[in-house]
Amino acid sequence: MAKKHKVVYNACYGGFSLSKAAIEMLAEMGVEEAKAEFNKTGLWESYRIYDLPRHDKRLVKVVEKLGEKAGGAFADLKIAKINGNKYRIDEYDGAESVIEPEDQEWVEIK
């Protein structure tokens, strides 16, 4: 039986980003805040971390704890539970989905 993992993704249009509270919590857990890029657009603010995998246990824990307050200005962060150790994030206009190998249709040459 394959091991299950949790993966964070953005479930709405706008793009993956984190709130200040999420960044602060990650910093307390040892994630270097220096890798966070701050973006302020008008009254909205959000953070992005490019070097942190979406399956990082610390990121998952922050999203589980903060819930809807974990996402940045235009993000709705959710957690997908996957079977196995392979995934990719499919993105369209900022809305993401988590794709596992068995979700792919392959053309087989016979």
Q: What is the per-residue pLDDT for 37?
A: 62
Read off the pLDDT of residues 46-103 as tens digits, 9 standing for 90 and up: 777 778 899 999 999 999 999 999 998 889 999 999 999 999 999 999 999 999 988 8
**Residue 19 main-chain phi, psi, to 5 deg:** -80, 165
pTM (2 d.p.): 0.85
Print burial letters for 33-61: b (CB count within 10 Å at least 16), e (below 16): eeebeeeeeeeeebbbbeebebbbeebbe
Average pLDDT, the chain: 87
Q: What is the pLDDT of residues 17-61, one digit of tens each?
A: 888 899 889 988 988 753 556 666 665 667 777 788 999 999 999
